Amino acid sequence: MRKEVELASLEDTKKLAKELVKLAKPGVFFLMSGYLGAGKTTLTKSLLKELGVEESVTSPTFVIMNQYDNGSLNINHMDAYRLTKNDDLYLYLETPEQDFNIIEWYDNVDFDYDNYKNYKINITKTGDTTRLVTIESRD
């Protein structure tokens, strides 16, 4: 599967989150990429809101990972920006097969994501307020 979506507003981001929430299940990874400020965390915030997370969602850049629970799903939101290929992702993800996992900067760490259902989500700035989101999976 490959899909491209143009985002021109926060409303467009919320619409995309409503679509993506259907894919959020235990053992699934959303692998986010894009330059600093592209909108990875903004999309994640909209997605978690759609999943029913009521607490404030913040970027885990400095703490590496935030965890959320919507009552039926444990959600790991990780920012691997400060990690390297030498860091073991399992130090942070104890039960990835039981959790829904969102990893920003996923390619900074050496981890075999292909052992899990995953969706690569790349966000590219195309203007001051516009983005192109590319979603890929091996179905």
Going along the chain from its start, the domains and CATH numbers come out as: 2-136 (3.40.50.300)
Q: Give the pLDDT score at 28.
A: 98
- Cα-Cα-Cα-Cα torsion 42, 48, 53, 59, nearest 10 degrees, comes to -40
Q: Give the pLDDT score at 53.
A: 96
pLDDT confidence tier of residue 101, bands split at 50, 70 and 90: very high
Interval 25-75: pLDDT, tens? 999 999 999 999 899 999 999 999 999 999 999 888 778 999 999 999 999
Which parts of 18-86 are beta strand (E)?
28-33, 65-69, 74-79
Q: Give the pLDDT score at 51.
A: 97
- Predicted TM-score (pTM) of the model is 0.94
Q: Give the pLDDT score at 15.
A: 98
